[in-house]
Every structure is written in structure tokens, then in C-alpha cells.
Amino acid sequence: MRSLRCLLLSSLLITGVTVPAIAADVPAASIAWQAWSPEIFAQAKRENKFILLDLQAVWCHWCHVMEEITYRDPAVGRLLASRYIAVRVDQDSRPDLANRYEDYGWPATVIYAPDGSELVKRQGYLPPKEMSSLLQAVIDDPTPGPSVRPERVTSTVATATVLGDERRAALLRTWNEGYDEKAGGWGFSHKFLDWDSVELAMRLAARGDEGAAQRARDTLRLQHKLLDPVWGGVYQYSVGGDWNEPHFEKIVQMQAENLRIYAQAYARWQNPADGEMLRGLRLYLRGFLTSGDGVVFTSQDADLVPGEHSADYYALDDEGRRARGIPRIDRHVYARENGWVISAVCQFAATTGQTTYRNEAERAARWVLAHRALPGGGFRHDEHDEAGPYLGDTLAMGRAFLALHQLTQDRVWLDRASAAAEFLTAHFGRGAEAGFASSDTTVNAFPAPRPQFDENVGVARFGTALAEATGRAEFRTMAATALRWLLAPGQAEGRGFYVAGLLLAEEEARTDPIHVAIVGRKDDPEAKAMFAAALRVPEAHKLVEWWDRREGPAPRGEDIYPVLDHAAAFLCANGACSSPIPDAAALTARLAKIK
């Protein structure tokens, strides 16, 4: 799931909306906000009221503006009090609602009839007069408005798990057309590093696609403009079609995915500027978003004062900022967000070879296991969830465990990843239907569990990689189930450059990974050097194994390696391996030739 959802000032200016200054001395309207729960619909039926959902993000500037202006307005307050039950939800706390309404931006305003049917779905900031008119219009005519568009309909009996040549070419064209040749980067309004697009471009670059290589390098270079030069960390995005108007919220997903992609890029191209970016990301994560227990918080607010734009504040140096205060940090510790960061730190550790980063990733994983684990291999979102479990938490932690296994070769992490995958199938599978739902399909819930695109891409990639690491066919079936939903007719079309993740997942499912097997003692310096060289391969679709015969059977039970009196590496595919590669230098040279 992506966090690029807070509606922008530029959009408001285009539509001619004038945003009044926030008056601190205006008393807030008396709105009795409630939490989201099934009981509110029963209450709505009893009281013959509508339900207004204010789905916001605690880090979002325009959410603050709406709170300080729209919901302070007396007319809005009177209408809500008379005929509505007002519900407010932090979207970070409820992945099921966030996934359902992600296309409507934060803040999202959704109005329901008492029976739970949707009447209105509106995107972004609504000024007081517009909100009052909307609330009154629903009272006057409680039928679904034009904002309630039909949901995307896809086949539930899809059988394809592989893209045909024609459709693959069409999706690649769509992805390429999403690149802004003038300003750089994928996307034409919001400017940010789309991690799947850059990863796909780097994969194509490795095969000799110079155009893809240039686009990846240009995007990586331009993203430097969104790096906070004082505290580090990347701002969420820039607006206005260029890279010079940042919105200043710092969301942990952006930090994690930037860290992962820049680590891959640095391993590939050794660009010092990318190394600079990595240092800035790590500086911010350690200094602002990491708790004393080694786990990460969720976000840092865009605003020092809620609702007041902070460009002047972020222009200050460290001393100037601290003299005025530090924007609020959301100190929730979510399993999903920590899984994202653990995976990224594993990639960073693989690129640099630094044991410090490996230790940080393991420490965070152990904390999440101790404080967020559920019976059966899954994870809750927060310390206490109002609903759930949600697919995103177990998926992110499963992928983190798999990354830790490859980095450490400690079998315990592979067992944890396998348990997470089993939990995903048990709790988020949809029976005979393809795809995995965002929330638990074994319980009755509103909204009803349904699949989300990015999460199913993640399940497909996780299942494929886990099947390679374990040799277990059921994990390949899990990947195929996700792909059948993703490849259903019409599912990918219309998503623009966001099809990059699907293109990555589909290719990984039908092709062998780069498979490097190291056979040698864990205390052998040459074996260690070869393992480090294999980890530095800047490609996610890889399997690195290190077998020390003293530890027991070969990984996956495949004892296909000759007995030698020295450590050796092997490149393997289709159940067969190369002749022994005797040292790290030779292995590095061989790996450089792989496309």
C-alpha cells in the first residue's frame, strides 16, 4: 500500500478554492466524534441518521486544515449533530478502511446510509460551505451521488498466472508512458520515487536497456531534492509537476522503500550521491523514528502547528527548528511498518556488509515477535487492534523474515517466514476465488474483506521467493493465487505506471532467480567473502544459500554439490549447478555477467 494520498494545495488552487486563514480563537464546533465500529450502523438505524466517515492521516496538512476550518464551522456542526453520526478514523490505524478508500485521498469523506450503503465519497479538503451543502443535499435526497462510482469489476474465475506476450508488451508501454520526459520521474503531478518503477527500470538496465537505466538514474538523482538537508529523511512528495515544492510529512514507508531502492542502486552503480542519500535516510530513521527498543514509529507530521504550512520552518537549520519545536511524531508501532523497515535494512546490510545493520534488523524483528505476534504465525497491527488482523502486517513481517534468513542464513527466520505464509493462506485466502483479501476472511466484518492491488503484488513476490527458499510447492500456489487475481481481465489496465509491481511479480513467478550456493565452513574467510559477494548482487529476484556441511542436510535437501577440500560457490538453475567457483573474485566476475 502506498502512502501518497494527502490532497494538495495545488489541486485546490486549480479548482479555485480559497482556503481561509486558520483562526486559533474560533471555538471548535461541538462534534461528538465516534470510533468506527459495527455498532454505529445499528445506532444509525435506530436514530434514522446518516454516518459521516472522516478518514484522515495524522501527518496530513490538509487533514489538519479541514479539522481547524471545516469542522469548526457552526453550520457544519449543526448539520452533523442533527442528522449524522460523525466517525473519525486515522487511516494508518485501519488498513482495511485505508485500502478501501485509498483512491479518495486523505482526508477522505464518506457518507453512508443507515444500512451501510455508500451515498457520497469525496476526495481531499472540503471548505465549510461545500461541506454544509453536501450534508444538506444528502438529507434532502438520500440516494447515491455521482461520486459513488461503480467498483472495478474483474473476473473471479481467472486462471492465467502468466502474462501473454501481447498483454505484457501493452503493460510495459503503459509503464513507459507514465514517465515524465520533461521533469523526470514516473507521474506528472506528484513527484516522488516510485520504488517499483525504479526497481523494474534497474532490472531492465541490467539486461542492457540504456533508456531504462537513464530513467532510473535520473529519478534517483531528482529524488535527492526531497531529502531533508538538515535532519535527513525524505519528504512524501513534491507538487506542481516538478521536484521543487515538497510536502513535508515524513512517512516511514517512504523512508523504508527509498532505503531499499537506493541500497540496490548503490550496489549496482556505486554512485557516491546514492551513498549520500542512504546516509541521510539512516540518519533520520535513527534520530527521529526509532524507539529505544529498536522499532520504528509511523510518521512525522507535515506541520509544526496543525494546519499551518511549514515551508519557512523547514528552511531553518537544526538550531532554528529546535528553537521553535519539533513536528509531532506518531509513536504508534505497527507490525507492517516495521516489516517494511526490516526488509530495507536487510538490503542495506547486504549492500554494505555491515553487521551493525543486520543486528538492528534482527533486534526489531525480535521485538515485533514479542509484542505483535498472533498464534499461528500472523501479526496484529498495533498493541491493541480495533479490528484485524490485516494482511499487510503478516505479509510485511513474512517478507522481513525471508530477508533476514537470506542475510543471516539462520533457519529460524525461514521457519518464521513459512509460518507467516501459512497464516496468510488461512486468514486472507478467498476460497475458490483468486486473490488475498486485506482483512480476515474468516470473520464477518464491514467493510467486507476484499483484495487490494499492491498487497497482492506483495503476496505474489513473497510466495515465489519463499517457494524458492524452501522448495515447498504450496508457497508457489500462494503466489499463483495472487497472480490469478492480478491478471484477471481489466485488473491491471487503467493503473498507469503502478503496473510496475505486477510486471516484477509476474516475471519472478515464471523465471528462475539468480541462485548462488556457497558450500564451505561458516568460519572460512573465503566462504565468508563469497557469501558477501553474493549478497551484494543488486537484484531482488535472487536466492543465496550458504551450506556448512557440519550443520546438517543441505538447504531444501538438495545435496548436489561435490565434496571439496576448500570452499566453493555454485551458480544453479533448473536443478543443476555450475562447476565450482573457487574464490570471491571469480564469483564476482561471474555474477557481473548475469542478466
Give the domain 167-424+454-499 fold: Glycosyltransferase (1.50.10)
Per-residue confidence at 340, pLDDT binned at 50, 70, 90? Answer: very high
Per-residue burial over 285-321, b if 16 or more Cβ lie within 10 Å, else e, is beebbbeeebbbbbbbbbbbbbbbbbeebbeeeeeeb
Per-residue confidence at 38, pLDDT binned at 50, 70, 90? Answer: confident
- Which neighbouring-strand residues pair with 200? none
Interval 51-93: pLDDT, tens: 999 999 999 999 999 999 999 999 999 999 999 999 999 999 9
Contacts of 359 (CB under 8 A, 6+ apart): none
Q: What residue has cell string 492480478?
A: 486
Per-residue burial over 502-515, b if 16 or more Cβ lie within 10 Å, else e, is bbbbbbbbeeebbb
Residue 24 pLDDT: 44
* Arithmetic mean of pLDDT over the chain: 93
| C-alpha span between 591 and 368 (Å, rounded) | 35
Kindly give the pairing relationship between strand 50-56 and strand 84-90: parallel
Rounded to two decimals, the pTM is: 0.94
Kindly give the pairing relationship between strand 568-573 and strand 576-577: antiparallel
Among 158-162, 501-505, 550-554, the least confident range: 158-162
Distances (CA, A) of 246 to 13, 221, 283, 456, 578: 16, 16, 20, 30, 50
Q: Do the first three CATH levels of 167-424+454-499 and 514-592 match, i.e. the same topology? A: no
pLDDT value at 476 more than 90: yes
Q: CB of 273 within 8 A of CB of 221?
A: yes
| C-alpha span between 96 and 50 (Å, rounded) | 21
Per-residue confidence at 23, pLDDT binned at 50, 70, 90? Answer: very low
Residue 88 pLDDT: 97
Bigger pLDDT: 44 vs 155: 44
What is the domain partition of the chain in residue ranges? 9-140, 167-424+454-499, 514-592
Distances (CA, A) of 346 to 198, 354, 533, 546: 19, 10, 15, 17
Interval 147-200: pLDDT, tens: 777 666 555 556 789 999 999 999 999 999 999 999 999 999 999 999 999 999
Per-residue burial over 545-567, b if 16 or more Cβ lie within 10 Å, else e, is bbbbeeeeeebeeeeebeeeeeb
Can you list the pairs that 8-17 forms with residues at least 24 positions away whose Cβ atoms lie under 8 Å? 8/62, 8/124, 8/190, 8/239, 8/247, 9/62, 9/239, 9/309, 10/189, 10/239, 10/240, 10/245, 11/124, 12/124, 12/125, 17/125, 17/127
**E-assigned strands of 11-117?**
50-56, 84-90, 108-112
pLDDT value at 450 more than 90: yes
Q: Which CATH class is domain 9-140?
A: alpha beta
pLDDT value at 556 more than 60: yes
User: How far apart are the two ends of the chain, measured CA to CA in Å?
Assistant: 29
Q: Give the number of residues written for the chain.
A: 595
Share of the chain above pLDDT 70, in %: 93
> What superfamily does domain 514-592 belong to in CATH?
Glutaredoxin (3.40.30.10)
- Which neighbouring-strand residues pair with 373? 379
Interval 270-309: pLDDT, tens: 999 999 999 999 999 999 999 999 999 999 999 999 999 8
Rg value, the chain, Cα: 25
Cell numbers standing for residue 165: 506476450
pLDDT value at 214 more than 80: yes
Question: Taking CA 155 as the corner, what is the angle to CA 200 and CA 420, rounded to the nearest 5 degrees?
Answer: 60
Interval 569-578: pLDDT, tens: 999 987 789 9
pLDDT value at 14 more than 50: no
